[in-house]
Chain A
Amino acid sequence: MKNDISLTKLSFINIKKHSFRSLGLITMTAILSLFLFGGSVLLLSLDKGLESMSTRLGADIMVVPIGYDKEAEGVLLRGEPSYFYFDKSVETKLAKVDGVDKVTSQFFLTSSNQDCCSVPVQFIGFDPNTDFVVQPWIRENYSGRITENSIIIGNDILHDESGSMKFFDKEYEIAAVLDETGTGFDTDVYADIVTVKSLFEAAKEKGFGFTDDIDFENSISSVLIKISDGYDIDTVVHNIRMNIDGVQIIKGQTMTAEIADNLNGFRIFLLVLLLLTSIFSIIVLILTFSLSVNERRREFGILRSIGATRGMVISVVIKEAVIIGISGGIIGVAFSSLILFPFNTYIGDSVKLPYLLPNSWVIIVVIILTLILSAVIPPIIASCFAVKISRSETYLTMRDND
């Protein structure tokens, strides 16, 4: 017959008829899915940022001039350009310390990137012969040898299509652009020590002074250390302190441990917020579905009286709940995405922790899981009340609203 109404169509009609109530239920489900999806992506992004930072640090110990540990952490973690120097002989002394396997030095310099906005850029010069930190991850993007006057740039460094960049009026060829890490490494420029030295000379010619009494040939900014197998970091740190004065020692694991602690605090806060929002949303859904099903007893009684089975009545309620759940889920995920993805950089800068969005497949899985939860929770709640109502005698159900 032309005017037959299916159970699904009946569910849609019911939702449209009680539009205000349906809108309220969709809003609650949307809030639930917004926090579920948003919270999950935030946590995954923070975890990925921390993992990326731990991978990039490379060294077990970093030694810098005394009093410059905060500046060194700023360079590594937050991309805050800085420069500091001590005598190159420290590298030789450190190589002889018991428990030290490999050492390599780095030279820090800051510059104005003339392509845009005079934002300082951090130059990190490394010794290709001894380096074990920078070259492994440069090799992910560039398999060639880094020649003189060529540079490798972090993902956030502005550059045009010409394949070169100018610093202090001198051109440098861009050999490769590194993958994003969500940390201060993204604003660094890497080159071999010879190139950085030529940059230093170019800067001096332009009248930029760094530390006035610096002996460039015999100065370095940091020494990175890999400890030998069988030694623990604290022992090696102790050995360094016993043999060398005037240096600050930064343990790689301490830096990541501090960030992991901050991340844990943030994670707990997010989880508590998520839990409270979920509980609140579920309570409101329970109350609303309970009221909704109760006030429709007469309607269900009429359906039963014209031949609908208990299963059909329950099915109408569940279908309504699924439609509401999926609608709310889609809206919640959409709103959350409107905040998370366009403002991704801003969020990362605001939390001041390594922050890197997970890859697309992970995000798709999170969306699917969020939508499944949104589609499942309302029907579960609604079905409890629908089953209860459907058990009553039809006559009594119809008379209940009198």
Chain B
Amino acid sequence: MSSTVIGNNKTKIRKYFLGAAFLLIGLLIAIGPQTIFAVCPKDPDSMAMACYYTARISVGIGTVIAALGLIQLVIRNNGFGSGISTAELLLGILVLLIPTILVGVCKGEHMHCHSATLPALIILGVLLIVLSVTDIVIGFVGRNKRNNNEK
């Protein structure tokens, strides 16, 4: 098997792996704060707390992350990969900022949003950033190698 074919196979595996990972992470970010690591329930008689808005914003961001992952899985062109990873990197940073700085969660350590939702979103955000950066770096190094080989 020639090195070009092996290289293309590796790129495909990377593409599908990342696409699936982004899709899964996106779904967890969208659905998690409403379900498995839910925020504090909203009292209908009083003002909504910060964690309520964090959960709502997470639905939007998580959906976009998942959609980009799906596009990565479905689209045949391997060139989209770096673009999608760059977008996921920026979204990952946003996922980190929302429950910590931009919107926040309840201050009480034993409130469910603080003990479960906050760490879950931070971990998912970091994971998204790590995967995106890794893909960008591998793509960059691979392109450099190809350019050097062509020369």
Contacts and interface: CB of A to CB of B under 8 A. Distances in A.
Interface of A: 79, 115-117, 119, 156, 158, 187, 338, 342-343, 345-346, 349
B122 A342 contact: yes
Given A156-B110, A342-B120, A349-B110, 16 more contacts: A115-B107, A116-B108, A117-B49, A117-B106, A117-B107, A117-B108, A156-B109, A158-B107, A187-B110, A338-B123, A342-B122, A343-B115, A343-B116, A345-B115, A346-B115, A346-B116
B107 A342 contact: no
Interface of B: 49, 106-112, 114-116, 119-120, 122-123
A298 B108 CA distance: 64
A156 B106 CA distance: 13
Q: Which of A338, A346, A349 has the most CB of B within 10 A?
A: A346
5 contacts: A79-B110, A117-B111, A119-B111, A158-B107, A342-B122
Contacts of B116: 343, 346
A158 B116 CA distance: 18
Contacts of A345: 109-110, 114-115
Contacts of B109: 156, 345
A34 to B, nearest CB: 15
B123 A116 contact: no
A186 to B, nearest CB: 9
Contacts of B106: 116-117
Nearest to A160: B107
A156 B111 CA distance: 11
B130 to A, nearest CB: 12
Contacts of A349: 110, 115
A117 B119 CA distance: 20
B25 to A, nearest CB: 14
B110 A343 contact: no
Contacts of A346: 112, 115-116, 119
A205 to B, nearest CB: 24
Contacts of A156: 108-110
A119 B115 contact: no
A2 B59 CA distance: 56
Interface centre among A115, A187, A343 (most CB of B within 10 A): A343
B108 A119 contact: yes
Nearest to A79: B110
B107 to A, nearest CB: 5
A115 B107 CA distance: 9
A123 B115 CA distance: 24
4 nearest CB pairs, A to B? A342-B119, A346-B115, A345-B115, A116-B107
B123 A342 contact: yes
B111 to A, nearest CB: 7
Contacts of A343: 115-116, 119-120
Contacts of A158: 107-108
A166 to B, nearest CB: 15
A119 B110 CA distance: 10
Contacts of A338: 123
Contacts of A187: 110
A79 B110 CA distance: 11
B137 to A, nearest CB: 20
A66 to B, nearest CB: 31
A81 to B, nearest CB: 13
A82 B112 CA distance: 21
Nearest to B117: A346
Contacts of A342: 119-120, 122-123
